[in-house]
Structure 1
């Protein structure tokens, strides 16, 4: 057991330094920080047109406009118009508007021809020279009538579909015009707020340095205690193990003294008892042998040999003396080991408090560095030059916003008029559709109920009247529908081809970027303050991709944001101060000189050289060579067979004396021998490894005492390095966040590209598309009025009774006859 303990101690001393096996206990890397959402209230939200049922119609109208206007974007015409308006020739405008001129020609022809045709038909009917009834019945009339009815029905359904689309598009324009105007103002307002909020946003973003600052100050308030606790935690195994070994050696010293003193006292007592026993046994041996050799003692020869061995066997005078060892250990321990252990524990356990005291100045210095970093961060906001550019932008946006409000109000007012006109026009077309549908229905029903073609049928006559009413409405209102269609077409078509389409494909931006297209007073790049190497198209693309004003405005020469957000600029001194910091912990004394001397005296006391074999030899010997009890039993047996009563009594008396010696002397001696055996066993177990144990303990204590200051400094360096990495990580997180916020949020120019896109979505996708869908649908209805009029006029005759009846013969000859009933109803 002693050798195993010595091996364990030696193994513990040979292990590597505990601090080298420890990871950072302060938590590294830095935990993620949460920052406020800066500038969330000033963002320009992107508008999108939601998918709707009219989207296919919008696409078809755009394709139709592409067919009507096949000319490219009029760059030269616009350049001449902007730079030298008088130089623009009418032929240039007409050449570009060729498609619209063709459509205008068609519209004029329609505007003139359809009312004229209607007037001609009215005059003709007034003089009864056209129209009326079918004069003769023919077999081909049925097929002709069915074709005319189908043509009118199909045309009417087309007009009905068109008027439904026109109603929907007209309502869509109304629904989008008001909110669109408001969204345009909101976009301008949000853009202005974004520009106005840039300086304030920069201040807010810089103020968020309070987040890492508070975390760093919190860590600084706990760092010294944490490092002291870490040192204590890492080294306590080594120190406590050394003190436990020292306490065990002191206990071994005390136990050794107790056992040696008890052993020495036991040996002296045994020697004294041995002398008494030898004298007693000598007397008893003489008496017993005399009795057994008496001539009258019968059967005594067998007991004579045992009686002659009636003498002491173990000689306790031969056991080794421990007086010298006891003399050496006398008065030990001279040192107060309880106080030594208490002082060592107190000194070692005070390391956290000592670290707090020793690191107080460093903590103050680091807090000062944090405050310096705060001032440096504030200088980022103070020196940020965006205000010089944002102020003119905000003023220009405010001016644009104020000047646009009256126009947008006027747009809403005129839109109301347009909507009413559209409703009236669609209602007229719908009335014509209703006349056609009811006329067809009543006329077809009348035809079905008429038994003879020459019979008068009121429902058929009513159907004819409804159809002629629809024709009258068509002639009456066609001249009003066509100007409305062409007027909205001219405005919406040109907006689509001159504004929306080049706006979507960025041709407008390229036109603005091309030198000479705009007058010098309209230099957009100069007015916006863009970098000279950027044009509007490039700036728009960069802003759309998330660029900041720093990327599109000439700020880099006067202010380099990356240089101002360099981590080393704010953490150099913060990292430098801990590198040169050291803690001189007071020397922790686990064992003073007196205690060490006591252990060395114990080691050199030669306890391990005691002749345990000499003790063992005598301990193993019986106290008496022969068994007193056995001899007493044998004498008692002999006393019973003797004929001489006197001899028998004497033998019995000697047996009782032997038993008395056994109980009074031998048994106590044997008990002392057992005690002696216990002490010898302890010494035999402890003594062989005593020197190794004490040497190992002294070495362990010495190494622990030497290890504490060295490893404390290593742990301090390691923990401070971890702490610095952690706190620098917080500052690095903030600077990365600040860079992103300043470039992608606070100073982002993406709201400008979003505002431009919103303008296109509001004007083109939400207003112009339904506007064009309206005129296209109403125009289709207007054009299909022509076949509707034709089919209606043609079918009216078939709904009235015929004048003559066709009689079919084999040679298909016809014989006219007079109709007895002639209706007086006329067209």
Structure 2
């Protein structure tokens, strides 16, 4: 049912003022109920007493005096009315029994739950200081993370520097290794070429004289007239001379003299030393930052102690102590009442059971009386005949009437008492509690005594609005917002990020250092490379050298000429010519197998890929490679100190943002926890709602159901008495009126010995 604006205004009037006239006006319904109860309490026993007196003086008959045609219809209507009334009373008493039992079942758990609610509130309030301390102690999480990062910051920055510069440095080192290898290979190949060419020149002179001698001898022999068929080999013999001149091969002695003694620098040791220095950058960075890391750790410890001090000065702890005292006092004061409630609840339940049992006994009398009376009517042949079961039914109805008169005063008192308590609780407390108007009543000045002022008990500077506080608590706000603690404690100032990180940032920003210069190419090594570059090995006429090496050693084929001479020796008729031809052939073969083959092997050695081909490959890139190597080494040596400083500043800035971010994240979390989570007042709004559920839904509702059901039974007892009185006459024998002049006397028709009961 919707509540009208006038009803709301009326309730607000009651809770905004305490004048007796307004309270009396508001309690009009209860006064009317009290009036009805008083009338019922007085009238019903009086009526019962009157009926008893009437029956004793025989002014009230106990039987129907005359039979009429409408008697059956009247009797049936009365019986139907009594039956329906009894069934209504039965339904009411069943509901009353159930409601009475429900009140008993809910009273003890309700009182226990109310006490548990107070204890839970106390535990919550007691847990707020521990919660604040735990939240503050969580500063150990970012602190440990920052300390762990500080332990590795130097090495991490050094590793980053090494990673960024690794490509440049390693390329320079690889280029230096390559140039040193080129220098060593060039020296080796030039020495090999020079030695081989000198040896070839020596063998060339010896071969030249030998070939000249053999040419003269063979030509003279072939011109001999005794030599038959010799003219065919004469032309080949004329070509028996050297086909090469190794004196025309470019000399490399000058270049060898220039490169003699190189490399003067131990490039392997120099590169290894530079490599060790470069790889030690992480350790060097860690060592250089060790002092500032100790200072930064001290600053972090100092910042953690500042955060710890928040727990000591947090103002809500003072209020929680007052709340705890108030809740402890409420709990201690309520314990005796809860025990008394349990004690008196037992008597209330017994009284309710007795009252319901009395009503149930009346219902039993009515139902059994109706059953016996109806059975007696069905077996009775004549209305004036006596029937014992019908008489027993009438007596049972009369017994029920007697019980109704005897206990009606107890029932009406019980109904009114429970109605007065339950109704007032429902209308004055539960409805206004559910609509939250009870909080407005508490908020209105003057409605409560000064001793019950919550703001004074909590030590607040301004009055606490209970309505607003309840809504805020229900919406999840904390005591910080509800108690307006920001007026006396500036939490933002205490959790300001700069308060904890300024010194940390200053010390980190002031850190400056230089990494030792790493020498990749020292002056002696550079001089060696420059000497190698200026050695002019790239200007040697390697193509002329190669071309000379490709020329045949002898212009004619010695083996071919020897073969021709051997064939000619077989066809000669002159034995002397034949022997000389064979001898010359043998000598040519010996020259081929000794001197020519030896020199050809030397030529192959000089012209093989590791020698001339290497020099030919190096020739186009010689100057470029050495210049590039010097440039790479110089660039790497310059980049290491410059880039390391740049990377150091970038990494320190990134490190600062990360560590300050940890602190900022924690402070933001701490602000939320302190304002909303740790000191949440949601349990208080939940406790108020639980209290309303316990009092109203679990206790007041079955309590009101009990008085309503029992009151329904009590009201319908009046109809039950009326219908029972009217109905029981029909269960007795009917007297017939004798038709005579002036005589109205009645006589028993068949059974003169029966004396009828009078009311």
TM-score class, shorter: 0.7 to 0.9
In the alignment, the residues of structure 2 paired with residue 128 and residue 232 of structure 1 have an alpha-carbon distance, to the nearest angstrom, of 128
CA contact (8 A) 2:63 2:734 kept: no
Q: 2:247 aligns with which of 282, 306, 317?
A: 317
Alpha-carbon offset, residue 606 of structure 1 = 1.7
Are residues 1:763 and 2:695 paired?
Answer: yes
Alpha-carbon offset, residue 132 of structure 1 = 5.6
In the alignment, the residues of structure 1 paired with residue 402 and residue 576 of structure 2 have an alpha-carbon distance, to the nearest angstrom, of 181
CA contact (8 A) 1:531 1:552 kept: no
- The verdict on how the C-alpha distance between 1:289 and 1:122 changes in structure 2, with shifts beyond 3 A counting, is farther
- The verdict on how the C-alpha distance between 1:114 and 1:365 changes in structure 2, with shifts beyond 3 A counting, is same
Q: 1:611 aligns with which of 510, 521, 541?
A: 541
CA offsets per residue over residues 710-739 of structure 1, 9 Å max, x none? 222222222222222222222222212221
Aligned partner of 1:304 in structure 2 is: 234
Aligned partner of 1:628 in structure 2 is: 558
Are residues 1:168 and 2:98 paired?
Answer: yes
- The verdict on how the C-alpha distance between 1:515 and 1:451 changes in structure 2, with shifts beyond 3 A counting, is closer
In the alignment, the residues of structure 2 paired with residue 459 and residue 640 of structure 1 have an alpha-carbon distance, to the nearest angstrom, of 178
CA offsets per residue over residues 437-472 of structure 1, 9 Å max, x none? 667778888999x69788999988877776666555
CA contact (8 A) 1:107 1:482 kept: yes
Aligned partner of 2:634 in structure 1 is: 702
Alpha-carbon offset, residue 581 of structure 1 = 0.6
CA contact (8 A) 1:456 1:823 kept: no
In the alignment, the residues of structure 2 paired with residue 260 and residue 445 of structure 1 have an alpha-carbon distance, to the nearest angstrom, of 149
In the alignment, the residues of structure 2 paired with residue 632 and residue 443 of structure 1 have an alpha-carbon distance, to the nearest angstrom, of 169
In the alignment, the residues of structure 1 paired with residue 392 and residue 197 of structure 2 have an alpha-carbon distance, to the nearest angstrom, of 154
- The verdict on how the C-alpha distance between 1:79 and 1:237 changes in structure 2, with shifts beyond 3 A counting, is closer
Structure 1's unaligned 5+ residue stretches are 1-62, 82-86, 805-817
- TM superposition score normalised by structure 2: 0.86
- The verdict on how the C-alpha distance between 1:773 and 1:641 changes in structure 2, with shifts beyond 3 A counting, is farther
Aligned partner of 1:45 in structure 2 is: none
- The verdict on how the C-alpha distance between 1:761 and 1:418 changes in structure 2, with shifts beyond 3 A counting, is same
Aligned partner of 2:676 in structure 1 is: 744
Secondary structure of the corresponding residue to residue 317 of structure 1 = helix
Aligned partner of 2:312 in structure 1 is: 382
152-161 vs 543-552, which deviates more?
Answer: 152-161
Aligned partner of 1:600 in structure 2 is: 530
CA contact (8 A) 1:199 1:387 kept: yes
In the alignment, the residues of structure 2 paired with residue 568 and residue 820 of structure 1 have an alpha-carbon distance, to the nearest angstrom, of 117
CA offsets per residue over residues 575-632 of structure 1, 9 Å max, x none? 1111121122111112211111112211221222221211221122222223323333
Aligned partner of 1:16 in structure 2 is: none
Are residues 1:732 and 2:664 paired?
Answer: yes
Q: 1:488 aligns with which of 418, 442, 449?
A: 418
CA contact (8 A) 1:80 1:88 kept: no
Alpha-carbon offset, residue 128 of structure 1 = 10
Q: Work out the number of aligned pairs and report it.
A: 741
Are residues 1:347 and 2:277 paired?
Answer: yes
CA contact (8 A) 2:16 2:444 kept: no
Aligned partner of 1:720 in structure 2 is: 652
In the alignment, the residues of structure 2 paired with residue 819 and residue 657 of structure 1 have an alpha-carbon distance, to the nearest angstrom, of 192
Q: 1:401 aligns with which of 319, 331, 338?
A: 331
CA contact (8 A) 1:242 1:701 kept: yes
Secondary structure of the corresponding residue to residue 502 of structure 1 = helix
Are residues 1:419 and 2:336 paired?
Answer: no
- The verdict on how the C-alpha distance between 1:276 and 1:521 changes in structure 2, with shifts beyond 3 A counting, is same
Q: 2:712 aligns with which of 777, 780, 793?
A: 780
In the alignment, the residues of structure 2 paired with residue 633 and residue 460 of structure 1 have an alpha-carbon distance, to the nearest angstrom, of 171
CA offsets per residue over residues 227-267 of structure 1, 9 Å max, x none? 22332333333322322221121111111111111111121
CA contact (8 A) 2:454 2:464 kept: no
- The verdict on how the C-alpha distance between 1:241 and 1:447 changes in structure 2, with shifts beyond 3 A counting, is farther
- The verdict on how the C-alpha distance between 1:475 and 1:238 changes in structure 2, with shifts beyond 3 A counting, is farther
Alpha-carbon offset, residue 181 of structure 1 = 2.6
- TM superposition score normalised by structure 1: 0.79
Alpha-carbon offset, residue 431 of structure 1 = 4.5
Secondary structure of the corresponding residue to residue 246 of structure 2 = coil
- The verdict on how the C-alpha distance between 1:101 and 1:608 changes in structure 2, with shifts beyond 3 A counting, is same
Alpha-carbon offset, residue 331 of structure 1 = 0.7
In the alignment, the residues of structure 2 paired with residue 403 and residue 755 of structure 1 have an alpha-carbon distance, to the nearest angstrom, of 18
In the alignment, the residues of structure 1 paired with residue 207 and residue 74 of structure 2 have an alpha-carbon distance, to the nearest angstrom, of 162
How big is the alpha-carbon RMSD for the aligned residues of Structure 1 and Structure 2?
Answer: 3.9
CA contact (8 A) 2:415 2:711 kept: yes
In the alignment, the residues of structure 2 paired with residue 825 and residue 669 of structure 1 have an alpha-carbon distance, to the nearest angstrom, of 175
Aligned partner of 1:283 in structure 2 is: 213
Structure 2's unaligned 5+ residue stretches are 737-747
